[in-house]
Each structure stands twice: as structure tokens, then as C-alpha cells.
Amino acid sequence: MLDLTKEIQYIKGVGPSRAKLLRSLGVSTIFDLLYLLPRRYLDLTPINFDQGVGRENLSAFPCIVTEKGHEVATRSGMKIVKIPVTDGKRKGFAVFFNQPYMKDAFKPGDKLILVGKIKKNFGEYEITNPEWQRFDEIESSDYTKICPVYPLTKGLTQKILRRIVKNVFQHNLIIDEVLPLDVLKKFNLMPKLDALKNIHFPESWEKLRRAQERLAFEELLIFQLAMMVTKRHIMGEKRKNKYVNLDITPFLKNLPFSLTKGQEKVVTDIISDLKSERVMNRLIQGDVGSGKTVVATVALYLAAKNGYQGAFMVPTEILAIQHCITLKRYLEPLGIRVEVLKGDMPKTEKKKVLEGLESGSVKVIVGTHAIIQDDIKFYRLGMVITDEQHRFGVRQRESLVKKGYYPDVIVMSATPIPRTLALTIYSDLDISIIDTIPEGRQKVETFVVDDSMRYKVYKFVEAEVKKGHQAYVVCPAVEESELGIASVDEIGEELKEKFPHLNIGILHGKMKAEEKENVMQKFCARQIDVLVATTVIEVGVDVPSATVMVVENAERFGLAQLHQLRGRVGRSNLKSYCIFITGSKDRSVRARLNFMMKSHNGFEIAQKDLEIRGPGEFLGVRQHGMPEFKFVPLIRDIRILETTKSLATEIIEKRLLSAPDFAGIRKELKEKLKII
């Protein structure tokens, strides 16, 4: 029997040097190795070049190198290596961008498996930047025709890693079965050990699907139980903060507009919470531009009028500055002092704000999540507004209670989520939905164009800039990689070259926080005309003069994500446009993108996205400070969400957690509740 906590270096084929490499992948023990999931699987069923053309998914092409590779350079100076190959009948090329060392990687006669997408250009087949393996690394009775592809680090190969994993499974493994036997039988679930074996070495695609569902079922059930226990814990808290004055008439009179019906409904929910005996823990969901901030400001107003302070927490400092300006406009005419806390504030200014918080003269503070840190003292904190990426859990609440604060909490979700899914992801919160958009808000005109029209698109962008407007260009990659995959670096350079009179800015997640803030401040100050970025601009900033959103390789994004990107423009009365560029000829891809031209309803779009892509993308929105989902993002069938929720409800209501059969669930739940 093999102890799962045993260090990995003592497994056959590992040793100290390979153990060091595995540690860089997060693998220190046998348990860690079992949960090192393949990034994908190769279907090693032979496929020829012709059969692969037009496929959206990656394919594996057995082929033979016919000649030594040669290097060519593009006009922009990029180096391309082309390796002539054949599938036995047809000739083609393995094409590698900016990898000059690949020229000498193969010799004529080498047998390879190339993994990628194949295109036919001017009668020649090309597989661009494929992953590759030699036949001798694959042809083995070690595994079936479904072959795992693991994340690697320098010094490890797929062959070595597969062999190590296989060696582990050859031992007598004892895996603790978390789910009771009755649950496994009732829902026809695999034993956990069988599921893990099929995750690494699937016997069939059906067995792989069942293995993923079995492990996702366990993850979701524990998650649902954790959320329910959390909610009961919070619901058990008696309200300490009393709200006597709940009149919002002065606030409403100060607004330059009237609330929508949807906003009024959510304000009623908030007032009802503040009247109740228990603390508020409410999620406000709304489409892009539905006016969530105004509704949250009502809560801050009521807190201030009843002698409490409010903290409005956002992910970035640029957003903090923007929200502070908005809140000052709404609240300061009513005698409520609003301040912002930033990292780069002069010491004297910061000292004044901190003193104001401690004395109570500052009623509302806006900032990143650092504003509820230990060294910041409040006079009487009573209301916390936060976003879904940084959920406010039991630990954060308890840390504030220890300081003598008993806040009500509002979580604002920027991502419309189908109701069935929201009830799962946010089952620890009460949910309010703003289902109307303020009048006069223009729809963003949306187009789907072929990548052959790119130059015309950018001429249109130039024309908009000449009108005094600004534009975003979003790319799926940061650096140049595969042919046809637009990168921030590549598009940024191209636009600077073709439109030298435009101020082009670049923004991506690899930049330091202060660099990103600086770029965004310049864009907000209109010192940048066109901002070329990754999806870091997906949520948040409000730039009214931005009227064009161009998304390169739009087929690589989910519909909900595209809708969020589109929401960055059309934030004023200026006519705004969103242009999705795609090179895909796949009909289903085109149909998906065309749906965006027809629909501007975020919840409708989210539902469509859920049907097409499964729940993984939505479940990702709540990962910060949450139990990590490893298997849930792999599943497509959303019925598992309802099944696990129903089972979790039954377990709680029937008080089954204390039963002997549920010892495994109890143990896992205890671990998860430490995180929340």
C-alpha cells in the first residue's frame, strides 16, 4: 500500500533531480501527482492532413519529416521556421514562429506526431506552432489511443511524466472515498480511484467524461455544503447595527435622474434587509450599464444617516478614483464626506484620511481591498460594498467583528449569470437582480467581420479618433505566437506603424500594477487614442469618450466575455460600435458570434454561453478566496449543479453530516470552511 503523503522523489523513475522539477509544477507528494491534471488529451486515432482542415479542435497528425527545416524572415523581422513533412500521401509544413532553434530539431526520416490546427494555404498544408512528440515517445502499450498531455517544465518530457504517473498507479493505492456508498449507487458514480485512473489514462472518451463528472460531483457537493453552512452561520448573526432612519427621499432628490423599476426593486430589498433582525449579505446582479453603483450608494447613504461608515472596495486604484468621483457627486451635497485611499498618496494626505476614518468624520471610504486591513481603524464601520472577485467571506467578517465592527455586506457582480447558476455559485448570498437599463442608453452597434477586412476596420477606428473619440482593441494573446492569433505586441506595433499620428497604448496582465494604472490614467485623461489590451479591461473603467471596441480573434472568447468587453463602450450619448474580427470559417463559430449582433441582453447572452460552453467560465468568476475547482470547469452538463444542490439541501435539512457514512464529507467540509 502506498502512502499518498509520501514524497514524490521516492517513486520509481523520479529521484531528487526530477523531484525538484516536479515541485516547480506544484507536485511534492504522490497525492499532488494524482491531482496534476492533463491539460488536454490526444486522440491518437490516425488522421491525415486533409481530414484535419476546418476542424475547430486540435488534431494529432502522424507524419514523417522529408527535408531539413529552413528559415525565412517576414518584412517585420519575425523569423519563421518551416519543416517539410508528409502524412504518407500529402505534403505539408510544420511552421514555427520566433523559434529559430527548431530548424535543427529534426532530420529527414524522423517520425512525429504534430498536434495543432491545419490550414491549406495556396495548395500547401500548414500546421502552425504545433506541439510535437516523436513516435517513440508515444508508440507503447502503456496507454490507450487517448493520451494525456500534462503541463511541463524544462527538463521533463511527456514520456517521462506519463511513465511516473503510470508507476504510481501500479502500486496498491488506497484513496479515501469521500462520498457515501449510497450516494455513489444512487447517482451511478465511479469509485474515486477508478475516476482518477481514467483522468490520467482514459479507457474511452465515455469513461473520461464519467470520471470528470464523478470528481466534479464531489467538488460541487462539498462547495454547495460549504456555502449553505456559511449562509446559516451568517443568518445566525443577530443584527448589531440599528437603522432608525430609512428615508431615502433627500438622496433621490439629489440625483440628476430617476431610478429604474429594476433599481427601485433592489433598493426595496436593501431597506428590507436593514429592517430585519439579521445582517445583510446580498448579491446585486445586473447587466452592463444597469446602474448597480447607484443602488449600492443608497446603502452607503443609509449607513451614513444612521451613524455608520461605509467601505466601497474595488479591484484597482483607477476604479477607486472613478468611483470616488461618482460617490462624491451623489453624497457630498448631502453632507456625507467621501474619500479615497491610494497607494501613491502623499503621507500628509493619507494621514488626514486615516484620522478621518478613526474619528468618524469620513463617512465613506473608497479603495482596493487594502482598506479593511489591520492598520486601518474605523470609528464605526457598518457597510461593506465589494465585488464578486473578492468575495467577503466568514473569515473577513470575523476579522472585522474582532475589531468591533458588524457590517452589512453587498457584493456587486459585473457578470450577468443565469439564475440557476447564480443560485449555485452564490448560494451563501441573497440575490437581487436589476433587470432594467436606464432610459436613453444607446445600444452599441455590433458587427462580425472577416479578418480580411482588418485594414478597413482600423481606418474606421482612425476616423472615430479624428472625431475626438477613443477606441479599445482587445487581443487574446500578449506576445506573438501562432499565426492568426492576434497579440497585443503585434497589433500594437502594427497600429503604430500604419497610424503614426495616433497615440497607441498597450495594456496586459504581465505588466506591473503601477504600469497598468499609469496606462489607464493616461487613457482616461485622453492622452491615449487607441488602447491595445488583453481582457484586463473587461470590467470596470468608465471612459465616456471611448466609442469603438475591436476584438481580434473573437472566436476565442466566450459570449459572456464578449458582452463584458462590449460594455466598455457606449457609456455616454455618443454613437458607439463593437467589431468582432474572426478568421474562422466554422459555421457554429459564426452563428455564435452573430448571436451577439442580435442580443444586447446580458442574461440572455449568459444563458446561451452556458448552453454552448458549460459552467466552467462562470464558476471561474468566484475563485478568489474560494475552494479551488479543479474538475468542475471540465464538465458541460449543467444538470450536475442542480443535482448536487438538491443533495446538499437534503444533507443539511436531514442533519446527515453527523452520520458515520458522511465522515469523508465532514473532513473535506472542515478543510473548505478554513478557506472561506
pLDDT tens-digit readout, 536-563: 775 667 888 999 999 999 998 888 889 9
Amino acid type, 10: Y
pLDDT band at 248 (very low <50, low <70, confident <90, very high): very high
- Tell me the domains of the chain and their CATH numbers: 1-37+165-174 (no CATH), 46-136 (2.40.50.140), 240-434 (3.40.50.300), 445-599 (3.40.50.300)
Note the pLDDT of residue 274: 95
How many of the other CB atoms lie within 10 Å of CB of 321? 19
pLDDT value at residue 601: 86
* Cα–Cα dist 236/394, whole Å: 12
The top-scoring range by mean pLDDT among 153-162, 416-425, 633-642 is 153-162
Higher pLDDT, 403 or 23: 23
Number of Cβ within 10 Å of residue 431's Cβ equals: 17
Per-residue confidence band for 625, with pLDDT thresholds at 50, 70 and 90: very low
What number is the average pLDDT over the span 19-29?
89
What is the β-pairing status of strands 470-474 and 530-533?
parallel
The predicted pLDDT at position 386 comes to: 85
For the segment 243-259, the average pLDDT, to the nearest whole number, is 94
Q: Is residue 140 over pLDDT 70?
A: no
Q: Rounded to whole angstroms, how far apart are CA atoms 60 and 47?
A: 7
- Of 474, 492, 468, nearest in space to 544 by CA: 468
Residues counted in the chain = 676
Residue-wise pLDDT tens digits, 416-431: 888 777 777 777 788 8
Which H or E run contains 34?
A: helix 30-34
What's the mean pLDDT when you consider all of the chain?
85
pLDDT at 390 over 80: no
Tell me the whole-structure pTM to 2 decimals.
0.73
Q: Render pLDDT for 102-127 as a digit per residue (tens, 0 to 9).
A: 888 899 999 998 888 898 877 889 99
Predicted confidence band at 619 (pLDDT cuts at 50, 70, 90)?
low
pLDDT beyond 50 at 391: yes
**Alpha carbons 98 and 104: distance in angstroms, whole number:** 14
pLDDT band at 212 (very low <50, low <70, confident <90, very high): very high
Residue 356 reports pLDDT greater than 90? yes
Task: Give dist(CA 94, CA 127) in Å, integer.
Answer: 5
Q: Give the confidence band of 142 by pLDDT, cuts at 50, 70, 90.
A: very low
- The answer to whether the beta carbons of residues 318 and 332 sit under 8 Å apart is no
Cell numbers linked to 299: 446603502
628 burial level (CB within 10 Å; 0-12, 13-18, 19+): exposed
User: Which stretch of DSSP H or E encloses residue 59?
Assistant: strand 59-65
675 vs 494: CA distance, rounded Å: 45
CA atoms within 13 A on the CB side of 243: 28
Residue 548 has what pLDDT?
96
Q: How far apart are CA 635 and CA 209, in angstroms?
A: 8
What is the C-alpha to C-alpha distance for residues 641 and 620, in angstroms, rounded to an integer? Answer: 15
- Residue scoring higher pLDDT (288 or 566): 566
Q: For 223-243, what is the mean pLDDT?
A: 82
Q: What is the pLDDT of residue 396?
A: 65
Distance CA 146, CA 515 (A): 44
* CA 39 to mean position of chain CA atoms: 17
Task: Supply the DSSP string of 350-373, one letter for each residue.
Answer: HHHHHHHHHHT---EEEESGGGGS
pLDDT tens column, 52-87: 888 766 788 889 999 999 888 776 667 889 999 999
* Mean pLDDT in residue range 635-642: 80
Which pLDDT score is estimated for 97?
A: 84
pLDDT at position 562 is 92
Q: Flag whether pLDDT at 392 surpasses 80.
A: no
For residues 146 and 456, which has the higher predicted lDDT (pLDDT)?
456
pLDDT of 474 = 93
pLDDT at 479: 65
Measured CA to CA, the distance from residue 166 to residue 171 in angstroms comes to 9
Which one is predicted more confidently, 9 or 531?
531
